Amino acid sequence: MKKRYELDKKFTWRLEDIYISDEDCKKDMKKLEDSLKDLSQFKGKLSQSSKILYDCLVLNDKLSLITEKIYVYSHMKLHEDTSNSISQGLADKAKSLSVKFSSASSFIIPEILSISEDILKKYIDENDDLKLYSHLINNLLRKKDHVLSKENEQLLAETLELGQSPQNIFSMLNNADITFPAIKDENGNEIEVTKGNFIHLMENPNRRIRHDAFKSLYSSYIKYKNTIAATYNASIKKDVFFARTRKYSSSLEYALFDDNIPVEVYNNLIDTVHEHLPLLHKYVSLKKRLLGLDEMHMYDLYTPLIKDIDMKIPYEKAMEIVKEGLTPLGEDYIKVLDEGFKSGWIDVYENEGKRSGAYSWGVYGTHPYVLLNYQDNINNLFTLAHEMGHAIHSYYSDANQPYVYAQYPIFLAEVASTVNETLLMRYLLNKTKDSKKRAYLLNHFLEQFRGTLFRQTMFAEFEKITHEMAEKGEPITANTLSTVYRNLNIKYYGNDIVIDPEIDFEWARIPHFYNAFYVYKYATGYSAAIALSYKIFNKEEGALDNYMTFLKSGGSDYPINILERAGVDMRTKEPIKQALKVFEELINEMEQQI
């Protein structure tokens, strides 16, 4: 594997667009530390006038933006090579400053909420400038029962760095320290197993290679099972602590409350997927039959049903395909997409020490960024489309919203990315006439459903169960976590697959579990995106305009309201049922294609 300095610069992101150098970042760190005291001049005075309240919020935004800029830059530098001690130090400093900023600004919310609702409304009515913050203030009033005293809020702010420790420990273990035994290819040559190429190995037509890669990866996680279980247990207890401290009935309610999402939305997802699990069982049975297996194992799940199809897609070709597939989104969208491809937004290839996976990130006032670990296959083609969906959503939000509302709510985060994937799939299916290639694409579409709607819901159910265990005081160990995870695999995948003992430890390698109750948004976002993409693809009247308005809305309203204006009501089970109906239709078409 190449070292970072060996990569061609045209395939690396341009972090100089945030800071020219680490030294410039350090200058802003000093500037931030010196400026934090300026916030203290407002402490105890926010109730005196609308102007003082407005000035405080403006300064808070200014310092928040600097904090964000420092944090994003330093961590993206670290993600280039997580073993780099200089980058580790810069990121640690950024984390500390983030905590200091949170502590310095912690008085603002309690103090605003100490002002009567009538006076706050009066301030907004009399001060046109303050109207910018009306949604923010109204949302704070919604949270009033869960905000503590100024002293306790400051104390909680200072515990944030401690609260990040489980995630940080897991990240270092998962990205910098853990390695996997090499395996042999068909010719007896060694293959290095990495998190970046694991899924690619799981798609290998040679079953022995799939088996060996599966065993290799999980053998390393099993070695660390007790350490990782203790780390995850600490993360869960942190979630429960903050939920109880803020007087929520559960850690689930606490996680959903910020987006104003009813707990029923989470439970509806799990319940609706449970009702449709026979469809997943049918798909597994179909896959077993079409693969000609007497016994199907977990390492067979990713295997394409259609063999001898050349779907190798180099990165340059992937960019062309994505552009063509997303043309239904209009000329302006494609122009932004092309800018992203050509202007240093994307870090493309895996290198030694680089953070695994893929993401989109960035900071207000600078273009968004995308981290990939690109492999030349169809999964990574869709990953490119997915992450650029995130990035362009951020681009439009930043361009059309003030800083205070530029960040779209987490609940909406997976919608734009999945719209891109679905439009790309529809484009490829329409373009492909060859029956084998069409069946290959149908299989990939089915795998998107399995991996996003079903698998992420299973993850969401695992989080719900484990957090409820902690709330009841039940022990959380490697054994109890593995038992819960095994039982869920049995429930979700049915009787036509062997639940290998290694899969009991899959929980030990999922980074998202350290960001509690996030993964359900993949499933709800996928359901919403299926509905929206079909409207856009079929050129329904107003669909594209509504969608572009959605992309530009940022966090200017509650996410359910933003989605409803785009044409999807997530308060009901209907979007999930509609998505699962598409899954059923795809299974039926696959049976006819083979």
The tens-digit pLDDT sequence of the chain (594 residues) is 899 999 999 999 999 999 999 999 999 999 999 999 999 999 999 999 999 999 999 999 999 999 999 999 999 999 999 999 999 999 999 999 999 999 999 999 989 999 999 999 999 999 999 999 999 999 999 988 888 887 888 888 888 888 999 999 999 999 889 999 999 999 999 999 998 899 889 989 899 999 999 999 999 999 999 999 999 999 999 999 999 999 999 999 999 998 999 999 999 999 999 999 999 999 999 999 989 999 999 999 988 877 657 778 999 999 999 999 999 999 999 999 999 999 999 999 999 999 988 999 999 999 999 999 999 988 899 999 999 999 999 999 999 999 999 999 988 988 999 999 999 999 999 998 888 888 888 988 998 899 999 999 999 999 999 999 999 999 999 999 999 999 999 999 999 999 999 999 999 999 999 999 999 999 999 999 998 998 999 999 999 999 999 999 999 999 999 999 999 999 899 999 989 998 999 999 888 876
Q: What ranges in 449-537 are assigned the alpha helix state H?
A: 455-471, 478-493, 520-537
All domains of the chain, ordered by start, with CATH? 4-163 (1.20.140.70)
Active centre residues (catalytic): 387
Q: What is the pTM of this model?
A: 0.80
Q: Which of 443, 463, 438, 581 is nearest to 519 (CA)?
A: 463
Contact of 586 with 449, CB cutoff 8 Å: yes
- Which residues, 6 or more positions from 430, have their beta carbon under 8 angstroms from its beta carbon? none
Cβ–Cβ under 8 Å, residues 371 and 361: yes
To which H or E segment does residue 184 belong? strand 183-184
Closest CA to 525 of 489, 488, 560, 565: 560
User: Which residues are registered as beta bridge partners of 498?
Assistant: 297
| Contact residues for 248 (Cβ-Cβ < 8 A; gap 6+) | 146, 254, 257
Q: Token match 């926010």: residue? A: 46
Q: Cβ contacts of residue 449 below 8 Å, gap of 6+?
A: 526, 579, 582, 583, 586
How far from each other are the two terminal CA atoms of the chain, in whole angstroms?
Answer: 39
How wide is the angle at C-alpha 375 spanned by C-alphas 379 and 579, nearest 5°? Answer: 10
**What is the DSSP secondary structure assignment for residue 409, as one 8-state letter?**
P
Q: What is the pLDDT of residue 177?
A: 92
Q: What is the reported pLDDT for 78?
A: 97
**What residues contact 500, with CB distance under 8 A and at least 6 apart?**
214, 297, 298, 299
Single-letter residue type at 349? Y
Helices (H), 343-377: none
Number of H helices, E strands in the chain: 27, 5
Length of the chain: 594
Report how far apart, in Å, the C-alpha atoms of 157 and of each of 161, 256, 279, 510 are: 8, 20, 46, 27
Q: Which residues pair with 184 in a beta bridge?
A: 190
- Encoded tokens for 379: 């999964």
Please give, one letter per residue, the 3-state secondary structure of 96-150: HHHHHHHHHCCCHHHHHHHCCHHHHHHHHHHCCHHHHHHHHHHHHHHCHHHCCCH
